[in-house]
Amino acid sequence: MTIKYKTIKEIKSMISQNEISNIEIVQEVYKLIDENKHLNAFITLNEENSLKKAEVLDKSSSNLPLAGIPIAQKDLFCTKGIRTTCASNILNNFIPPYSATVIENLEKAGCISIGKTNMDEFAMGSSNETSFFGNVQNPWGQKLVPGGSSGGSASAIAAGIVPAASGTDTGGSIRQPASLCGISGLKPTYGRISRWGMIAFASSLDQAGPMARTAEDCAIMLNEMCSHDEKDTTSLNDKIPNFEDNLNNSLNGKKIGIVKDLDLSSLDNDVVAVYENSLKEFVSMGAELININLPNLSLSVPTYYVVAPAECSSNLSRFDGVKFGRRSENPKDLEELYIQTRSEGFGDEVKRRILIGSYVLSAGYYDAYYKKAQQVRRLIKNDFDSAFKNVDVIMTPTTRGPAFEMGSKGSDPIQMYLEDLFTISANLAGLPAMSIPNGNIDNKPIGLQIIGDFLNESTILNFAHMYQKVTNWHNYTPEGVRQ
């Protein structure tokens, strides 16, 4: 038996029926990692600890919800005793003394943390080309980007190495790579999952979430990732539902919001056709399409690229060569230590965003840029609040197109920033949103985005799961259709 391209649910069934042991699963995962080294999906592996945990699980016959499930962890989460780099040279030697709450929750549920996945440096990027450890490759094509920043996680799932992985989403960093790699990925409501131990990029936007082959697997993971955490002041103390309970609810009479203000003219005709075909599928399942207005949606990208760099410039000020991480050698004084450490440790995209953030927060510019961006952010949130009075979910394409070639957009940061055109608004509003596989264009996958109201992940997962029951896009792999 092989676990390649299998789902969490299928692997759980294989384990329970004694078709495969936990040791055999772990051994196959590391064999697959070795066979797919060219993808550069992992930064640090956790083989010795994984084999030990698998051995314990085999002896105990555990019935924990994720017992024996191999999960790849994005290298943005602190992992006790295991190097955590954020794909940056400045944290190349950082070994945390504790694990992030998300990691603790998943491991308490029995999962085996296989290793740390490659990503855009400090989660800043949309193509996984800013990593200090090199580009991640999309399994769907030798020169294709996997999307970012959670590109390593998406690539590992798409290649069939692991059934699931953790990701983080600040402006689309779960959904965009999910779309480009043909998998499912969910960004929950802001505060639904603890951010403690998740190295911050933009604190008011960052959110952890599950990435997997199917919506059902995302629900299984989300059940274990969520918890109220007193160590995180932004963690919501709200009842956490069982996200699997409503997966099979009928969509009859449910209302889907179609954004009248959404400009699809810049998209390829194929992208628009794929999107419109998916809407017809939902109508055939009994859902109703309702036109809605989000008049400030077009301001999402400029708003984000004021707010996010401002918060990143503040968060990344802690990396100064004094407390942890890389330290420049032989500085003549403290000021030179700061300058040299940060110059040597950060990549170009991180430096660019720090500079932008410092500028918009500086005296004389704070009111004109940062304060104004926060006011527009509130208008965007108000637009969503109004829309959700009339609809259950909102649907858009996830990305402007399928995966593009490495290096094709690196010379123009603005073009790269526009790759998050459809995803950013959900982060600004703190809303849950998901991407699911929705078609293939020139043998490259593309996704559908489903946005839900505050704390309404269950409804998103219901729509996604029901769509995956009547379509087969989530079963497509780089090697063909999964049986």
Burial of 412 by CB count in 10 Å (0-12 exposed, 13-18 middle, 19+ buried)? Answer: exposed
Catalytic residue flag (residue 328): no
Provide the pLDDT for residue 411: 67
β-pair partners for 480 = 477
In degrees, rounded to 5, the angle at the alpha carbon of residue 448 between the alpha carbons of residues 444 and 452 is 155
Selecting among 74, 187, 254, 409, the annotated active-site residue is 74
Q: State the Cα torsion 88-94-98-102 to the nearest 10°.
A: 20
Prediction pTM value: 0.96
User: In the structure encoding, which two tokens stand for residue 215, read together?
Assistant: 């919506």
Query: Candidates 3.90.1300.10, 3.40.50.720, 3.40.50.920, 2.40.50.140; correct CATH number of 8-253?
Result: 3.90.1300.10
Burial of 47 by CB count in 10 Å (0-12 exposed, 13-18 middle, 19+ buried)? Answer: middle
CA 132, CA 118: separation in Å to the nearest integer? 9
> Phi-psi region for residue 12, left (φ > 0), alpha (ψ -120 to 50) or beta?
alpha
Selecting among 173, 184, 235, 278, the annotated active-site residue is 173
Query: Angle between the 8-16 and 215-225 helix axes, to the nearest 10 degrees?
Result: 80
In a 3-state reduction of DSSP, which class is residue 32? helix
CA 260, CA 383: separation in Å to the nearest integer? 13
Bridging pattern class, strands 70-74 and 112-117: parallel
Per-residue pLDDT of the chain (483 residues; tens, 9 = 90+): 899 999 999 999 999 999 999 999 999 999 999 999 999 999 999 999 999 999 999 998 788 999 999 999 999 999 999 999 999 999 999 999 999 999 999 999 999 999 999 999 999 999 999 999 999 999 999 999 999 999 999 999 999 999 999 999 999 999 999 999 999 999 999 999 999 999 999 999 999 999 999 999 999 999 999 999 999 999 999 999 999 999 999 999 999 999 988 878 778 789 999 999 999 999 999 999 999 999 999 999 999 999 999 999 999 999 998 888 889 888 899 999 999 999 999 999 999 999 999 999 998 899 999 999 999 999 999 999 999 999 999 999 999 999 999 998 866 777 777 778 899 999 999 999 999 999 999 999 999 999 999 999 999 999 999 999 999 999 999 999 987
Catalytic residue flag (residue 173): yes
Provide the pLDDT for residue 32: 98
Q: Report pLDDT digits (tens) over 183-240.
A: 999 999 999 999 999 999 999 999 999 999 999 999 999 999 999 999 999 999 999 9
Q: Report pLDDT digits (tens) over 264-277.
A: 877 878 999 999 99
Selecting among 149, 184, 278, 458, the annotated active-site residue is 149
**What does the domain layout of the chain look like in residue ranges?**
8-253
CB 425 within 8 A of CB 452: no
CB 396 within 8 A of CB 422: yes
User: In the structure encoding, which two tokens stand for residue 212, read together?
Assistant: 């997997």
CB 362 within 8 A of CB 317: no
Catalytic residue flag (residue 74): yes
Residue 219: count of CB within 10 angstroms of its CB? 28
